[in-house]
Amino acid sequence: MQIVSEVREPLVTGGKTHKDVTEDICKQVEGAPSPAWLASLAASLLALGVGGYYLGDMLWNGIGRWGLNKSVQWAWDITNFVWWVGIGHAGTLISAILLLFRQKWRTSINRAAEAMTIFAVICALFWPIAHMGRPWIGPVWAFPLPNTYGSLWVNFNSPLLWDVFAIGTYFSVSLLFWYVGLVPDFATIRDRATSKISRLMYGILSLGWDGSAKSWMHYESVSLILAGLSTPLVLSVHTIVSFDFATSVIPGWHTTIFPPYFVAGAIFSGFAMVLTLMLITRKVYHLEDYITIEHIEMMNIIIIVTGSIVGIAYTTELFIAWYSGVEYEQYAFLNRSTGPYWWAYWSMMTCNVISPQLFWIKKIRTSLMWTFVLSIVVNIGMWFERFVIIVTSLHRDYLPSSWTYFIPTMHDVGTYLFTFGLFFTFFFLFAKFFPVINMAEVKAVLKDSNSKVYRARRTLVNEPLPALEEVTVEKEGSSLIK
């Protein structure tokens, strides 16, 4: 039974009971895969295969297969790295920061968003390793291990090494947070399992979870601390990614605005990707009662906020370039907006600054079609942002004789396609074999102990019914209800 508050829209609609939640979510895991799912997985595997061909060819022959040249040594590789890692940030924002702020609407989207984080960070990690050219030895150089010349260590003054620690920690902690959240839901699936294999596999994954009150107490505490640790972590990760650029002396990169600007951009693109994925999942899995229009509206509001921060950051950059009086800095920005890459700059401006402002209109931010289209537009814009920052700053350096123009090859496109294949293969496997919605958390928010519920309960217990105001006071003062 669900009691509906007069003040707020319910987080889960359709009058769902706890039993319904279990049924609706487990149905996807237990049933046979749908044709739509099989087709999607096949498409992802195709992308993985085609991309894998270009990747293999690139690894065999070297990164000369990419369109890089001696002026533009970083192009799509690092653009894609920053883009993917930025997308990952929304998952942690939803699960950690919104948990700390007690935003209960996060419960029906956090699982899929965290999964997206993990897969996006895997795709991100792929790029720095691939761009080393010899990925079988490259990662070894990144670890703090002594080398063969005695014990010359890695350089802890370098932001590239900070990145290794930041992304590594971010991936590990996100994976842990996600897995800890999955354990009680695996136990639910284990207890419903009818086949031997699924009972065994979900039994192992559920770590023998029994849902005892003492364990839940520790579990809640662990989740809260993990959220508390993940919050500065997620902010630090994109800050450190921005240091890769900001600590250099390249005009257009050497700016102090980079850390907050990158973090806002990361959340912006991440929420767009969450929306893209959730709108599809919602449709295919019929989760309209769990991911309601209100959820989508909330996420669109976050997109307006972060999109506006990004817009202010672009303007500030331009202003500071002019105001600093540094001619190289001024030229870098003039060249961005009017030089050979003007089309990339203005695509970025249109997609990131103008398009999210459409969400001020309530009709647009509550429309599924508009949201879906704009979420993709935003991610295109955020890809261009990283491309603009990286390539336009590099392609015209201090020596006009080495000025050049970067043209991607099929290997650039193919390797990018490979990461898309990887991401969607992981996501579709997740959507089939793991519960896409956090059942335990949704059950917990299904009925809040508001005074109305309390009254209803007391009526059942056949006790004299206190006046509503008194109950409210008692509720707030009681140690029972926090």
Q: Which of residues 136-165 bind another protein (CB under 8 A)?
A: 144, 150-157, 159, 161-162, 165
Q: How far is the CB of 151 from another protein (least distance, A)?
A: 6
Query: In the 3-class helix/strand/coil scheme, how is 128-171 assigned residue by residue?
Result: HHHCCCCCCCHHHHHCCCCCCCCCCCCCCCCHHHHHHHHHHHHH
Q: How far is the CB of 218 from another protein (least distance, A)?
A: 5
Residue 272 in contact with residue 376, Cβ under 8 Å?
A: yes
Q: Alpha-carbon distance 78 to 394, whole Å?
A: 12
In the complex with another protein, which residue's Cβ is closer, 133 or 228? Answer: 228
CA nearest neighbour of 112 among 232, 230, 25, 238: 25
Q: Which of residues 336-395 bind another protein (CB under 8 A)?
A: none
In angstroms and rounded to an integer, the radius of gyration of the C-alpha atoms of the chain is: 25
Residue in 444, 452, 472, 474 binding another protein, rule: CB under 8 A: 444
Stretch that binds another protein, among 47-55, 112-120, 276-284, 434-442 (CB under 8 A): 434-442
Q: Which of residues 295-334 bind another protein (CB under 8 A)?
A: none
In the complex with another protein, which residue's Cβ is closer, 419 or 450? Answer: 450
Q: Alpha-carbon distance 137 to 259, whole Å?
A: 30
Residue 344 in contact with residue 384, Cβ under 8 Å?
A: yes
Q: Which of residues 1-30 bind another protein (CB under 8 A)?
A: 1, 17-19, 22
Residue in 2, 71, 169, 404 binding another protein, rule: CB under 8 A: 169
Stretch that binds another protein, among 255-263, 271-279, 399-407, 443-451 (CB under 8 A): 443-451
Q: How far is the CB of 185 from another protein (least distance, A)?
A: 9
Q: Which of residues 202-261 bind another protein (CB under 8 A)?
A: 203-205, 207-222, 225-226, 229-230, 232-233, 236, 240, 243
Residue in 61, 172, 248, 402 binding another protein, rule: CB under 8 A: 172
In the complex with another protein, which residue's Cβ is closer, 109 or 374? Answer: 109
Residue 453 in contact with residue 471, Cβ under 8 Å?
A: no
Q: Alpha-carbon distance 170 to 233, whole Å?
A: 7
How far out from the chain centre does Cα 94 lie?
A: 9
Q: Alpha-carbon distance 275 to 302, whole Å?
A: 11
Q: Alpha-carbon distance 287 to 276, whole Å?
A: 15
Residue in 106, 111, 396, 443 binding another protein, rule: CB under 8 A: 443
Q: How far is the CB of 244 from another protein (least distance, A)?
A: 12
Q: What's the token pair of residue 395?
A: 């392609």
In the complex with another protein, which residue's Cβ is closer, 188 or 255? Answer: 188
Binding status of residue 468 toward another protein by CB under 8 A: no
What's 52's DSSP letter? Answer: H
> How many CB atoms are closer than 10 A to CB 405?
14
In the complex with another protein, which residue's Cβ is closer, 187 or 277? Answer: 187
Residue in 137, 399, 461, 467 binding another protein, rule: CB under 8 A: 461
In the complex with another protein, which residue's Cβ is closer, 98 or 166? Answer: 166
Question: Which residues, 6 or more positions from 246, have their beta carbon under 8 angstroms from its beta carbon?
Answer: 159, 253, 254, 255, 256, 258, 259
Q: What's the token pair of residue 8?
A: 């707020």
CA nearest neighbour of 420 among 40, 63, 75: 40
Q: How far is the CB of 482 from another protein (least distance, A)?
A: 5
In the complex with another protein, which residue's Cβ is closer, 231 or 367? Answer: 231
CA nearest neighbour of 377 among 413, 409, 350: 350
Residue 89 in contact with residue 238, Cβ under 8 Å?
A: yes
Q: How far is the CB of 235 from another protein (least distance, A)?
A: 11
CA nearest neighbour of 355 among 379, 338, 333: 379
Residue in 449, 452, 466, 474 binding another protein, rule: CB under 8 A: 449
CA nearest neighbour of 160 among 168, 150, 152: 168
Provide the Cα torsion 333, 338, 339, 342; round to 10°: 100
In the complex with another protein, which residue's Cβ is closer, 14 or 211? Answer: 211
Q: How far is the CB of 241 from another protein (least distance, A)?
A: 11
Q: How far is the CB of 144 from another protein (least distance, A)?
A: 6
Stretch that binds another protein, among 60-68, 283-291, 418-426, 473-481 (CB under 8 A): 473-481
